[in-house]
Amino acid sequence: MLDQQRDYVLRTVEERGVRLVRLWFTDVLGNLKSFAISPAELENALEDGMTFDGSSIDGFSRIQEADVLAIPDPDTFEIIPWGEAGAAEARVFCDIHNLDGLPFSGDPRQVLRRNADAARELGYTFFLAPDIEFFYFEPPEKGDKPKPLDNDGFFDLGTRDAAGDLRKQTIRKLEQLGIPVEYSFHEDSPSQQEIDLRHTDALTMADSVMTFRLVVKEVAANQGVHATFMPKPLEGVQGSGMHLHMSLFRGEENAFYDPSDPYNLSPVAKAFMAGLLRHAAEITAITNQTVNSYKRLVPGFEAPVHVSWARNNRSGLIRVPIAKKGNPTATRIEYRSPDPACNPYLAFSVLLAAGMRGVAEGYELPEEADANLFEMDDAALAKLGINQLPQSLADALKVMEGSELVQEALGEHIFEWFLRNKRREWRDYKTHVSQFEMDRYLRSI
């Protein structure tokens, strides 16, 4: 099987005149990393991998051994649809290994592989479909306030719809790269866009999200526009989230579906949700990893603040969308806190681990919270047993630090490195004196 795939890749490179093959992988913070090799090197790379110095990559460095091995996953080989004619380029995602051939514990893709395999051992495949929001701005200078391209609202057609053209071009490129799009539209905020992807298994989807972010930025940059996945770039309007629709399949059967339940939710679905809810605070540093992420998770902007679930209440953390009638495969849950600045490999890993913990230990799903939680005071919420998500990166890190679940899901290496790196980010932020403080205190105190 693997030999056939390698053969296929090598033959395609030859037949299509590919001049450059980009080897892609991801650092711990979710940045796409790439190095290019010539087609002549490819056979060797597919066979034995390419050695490189991991100490230059965020989160890879270890004191003992710096060199690691990038082994291309031939299943992800694609011709890049923006290369020049006659000088085609291709990309392939890599798994990172130690020189002894074992999976490298600092590689987020290997972490997700391990978590997905653990679920597969129990017979489950984890499927995800993200709704990814982002903004188009005029290219910013450092220190500038972002300038939206338009002031249109949700679903607006826009007379001078530059953003619409960008979105169309982006979607065409995504489809060419094997990333099918379900919907796309102008979101609520000025210049905010949303593109919803069709479900795939978790590893494919994490690769797709990495490719997606690059394609969106690339297409925009070609037109002199800056695309950003920053969670909350504009004060006073909605930020950008990455809602995740999730389900578990057992072969052809949706393990979340049960026709006899009033919500069509199976016991597995309920236990999975209970797992997500119980461990939500612990995994939030991973699903929302920037200082800025927590400016999105505030009341009043359709982002979740409380750890709760409901069928049709968008203030909750988990929503259970009503599946189209007679379509059991569409039964799913929507987890609403993550933002598109996360590392998808790590985020999907901790979400799966939290859900599967619920399934393994048969957690009880709490009552549905269908009231508007934003209108309740703390006492009323406490009575319902509803907690808040962490309010800042510092809070989130503190909860994560004590989480045996997150440590196990990420592995020691990434767990430790992530905490160290993000605590430093928080320290840097804490020492910054903001415009808010200037405006508020300088003259009055």
For another protein, which residue of 110, 115, 193, 204 counts as binding (CB under 8 A)? 204
Does 420 contact another protein by CB under 8 A? Answer: no
Does 421 contact another protein by CB under 8 A? Answer: no
Positions in 173-202 near another protein (CB under 8 A): 175-176, 178, 180, 198-201
The 75-114 site mask, x for binding another protein (CB under 8 A), equals xxxxx-x---------------------------------
Nearer CB in complex with another protein: 75/425: 75
> How, if at all, do strands 200-201 and 309-310 pair?
unpaired
- Phi and psi at 181, nearest 5°, equal -105, 135
Does 343 contact another protein by CB under 8 A? Answer: no
Does 11 contact another protein by CB under 8 A? Answer: yes
In the complex, the smallest distance separating the C-beta of residue 4 from another protein, rounded to whole angstroms, is: 5
Angle subtended by helix axes 202-222 and 162-176, to nearest 10: 140
In the complex, the smallest distance separating the C-beta of residue 46 from another protein, rounded to whole angstroms, is: 12
**Can you give the chain as a three-state secondary structure string?**
CHHHHHHHHHHHHHHCCEEEEEEEEECCCCCEEEEEECHHHHHHHHHHCEEEEHHHCCCCCCCCCCEEEEEECHHHCEECCCCECCEEEEEEEEEEECCCCCECCCCHHHHHHHHHHHHHHCCCEEEEEEEEEEEEECCCCCCCCCCECCCCCCCCCCCCCHHHHHHHHHHHHHHHCCCCEEEEEECCCCCEEEEEECCEEHHHHHHHHHHHHHHHHHHHHHCCCEEECCCCCCCCCCCCCEEEEEEEEECCEECCECCCCCCCECHHHHHHHHHHHHHHHHHHHHHCCCCCHHHHCCCCCCCCCECCEECCCCCCCEECCCCCCCCHHHCCEEECCCCCCCCHHHHHHHHHHHHHHHHHHCCCCCCCCCCCHHHCCHHHHHHHCCCECCCCHHHHHHHHHCCHHHHHHHCHHHHHHHHHHHHHHHHHHHCCCCHHHHHHHHCCC
- Phi and psi at 198, nearest 5°, equal -75, 150
Does 43 contact another protein by CB under 8 A? Answer: no
Nearer CB in complex with another protein: 15/100: 15
Does 21 contact another protein by CB under 8 A? Answer: no
In the complex, the smallest distance separating the C-beta of residue 81 from another protein, rounded to whole angstroms, is: 8
CA–CA distance, 287 with 285 (Å, rounded to integer): 6
Does 16 contact another protein by CB under 8 A? Answer: yes
In the complex, the smallest distance separating the C-beta of residue 162 from another protein, rounded to whole angstroms, is: 24
Does 168 contact another protein by CB under 8 A? Answer: no
In the complex, the smallest distance separating the C-beta of residue 107 from another protein, rounded to whole angstroms, is: 21
Nearer CB in complex with another protein: 208/288: 208
For another protein, which residue of 12, 169, 184, 407 counts as binding (CB under 8 A)? 12
In the complex, the smallest distance separating the C-beta of residue 347 from another protein, rounded to whole angstroms, is: 20
Number of residues that bind another protein (CB under 8 A): 35
Does 251 contact another protein by CB under 8 A? Answer: yes
Stretch that binds another protein, among 250-258, 289-297, 344-352, 353-361 (CB under 8 A): 250-258
CA–CA distance, 102 with 99 (Å, rounded to integer): 7
In the complex, the smallest distance separating the C-beta of residue 47 from another protein, rounded to whole angstroms, is: 16
CB 186 within 8 A of CB 163: yes
Positions in 271-290 near another protein (CB under 8 A): none
In the complex, the smallest distance separating the C-beta of residue 32 from another protein, rounded to whole angstroms, is: 19
In the complex, the smallest distance separating the C-beta of residue 14 from another protein, rounded to whole angstroms, is: 8
Positions in 364-383 near another protein (CB under 8 A): none
Does 355 contact another protein by CB under 8 A? Answer: no
- Give the bridge partners for 195, in sequence order: 132, 184
Positions in 116-145 near another protein (CB under 8 A): 120, 125, 127
Q: Which residue has the tokens 């998500």?
A: 389
Nearer CB in complex with another protein: 18/393: 18
In the complex, the smallest distance separating the C-beta of residue 126 from another protein, rounded to whole angstroms, is: 10
For another protein, which residue of 54, 59, 74, 108 counts as binding (CB under 8 A)? 74
Site residues for another protein per CB under 8 A:
1, 3-5, 7-9, 11-12, 15-16, 74-79, 81, 120, 125, 127, 175-176, 178, 180, 198-201, 204, 249-252, 329
